Amino acid sequence: MKPQGVRGAVKTESLIYEKLQNSRKRDYIMAKLDEIDMKILSALNRDASISIPKLSNDLGINLSVAYSRIKRLIRRGIIEHYTITVNEDKLGMTASAIAGINLDPKNREQILDEIMKMESVRLLREVTGRFDLIVNLRGASLDELHKAVYDIIGKIPGVQHAEVFMEVARRTPVVNYRLQD
């Protein structure tokens, strides 16, 4: 094994220090959260439109406590934003698919840019494993999504392989946040 040298050792030390600092920040944030915070996060995750009075009543906490806890969660960046869920089936987009993509790393940015421009793309994840990218798509028909993957994504320069997985059923679990042990 080749010796690192001074620069390599300093770089390694700074990476270790950065990881330690990030770990301390995470531990600090978690230390300041309690069961009430977790119940608030779980309830808002289920329905972000719930009124604060109803939320405080449902959780059995004082209204002012609910308001201040939510403000604190926002200020600390734990709650980043509120959003809606659109029922795309009612908009005529009844088909869903996931595509696994392998790409040439030299063309990565151009490929990502092209895929992100597509109307049918809902989410793009860069991953490890069998594929480089996992892309969630939504459209009017399975045929439309099949064409989007093979005729559009598959023909982007640098895309080496594309494979589509058509969704046949979907289940969304209820998320209940809890403190880490």
Q: What is the pLDDT of residues 83-140, one digit of tens each?
A: 999 999 999 999 999 999 999 999 999 999 999 999 999 999 999 999 999 999 999 9
CB atoms within 10 A of CB 50: 13
Rounded to an integer, what is the distance from CA 172 to the centroid of its chain?
15
The answer, as to whether pTM is greater than 0.85, is no
C-alpha 157/C-alpha 54 separation (Å) is 53
Q: How far is CA 171 from CA 84, 97, 144, in A?
A: 18, 14, 23
C-alpha 52/C-alpha 154 separation (Å) is 48
Q: Of 98, 96, 164, 89, which Cα lies nearest the Cα of 125?
A: 98
Q: What is the pLDDT of residues 137-153, one digit of tens each?
A: 999 999 999 999 999 99
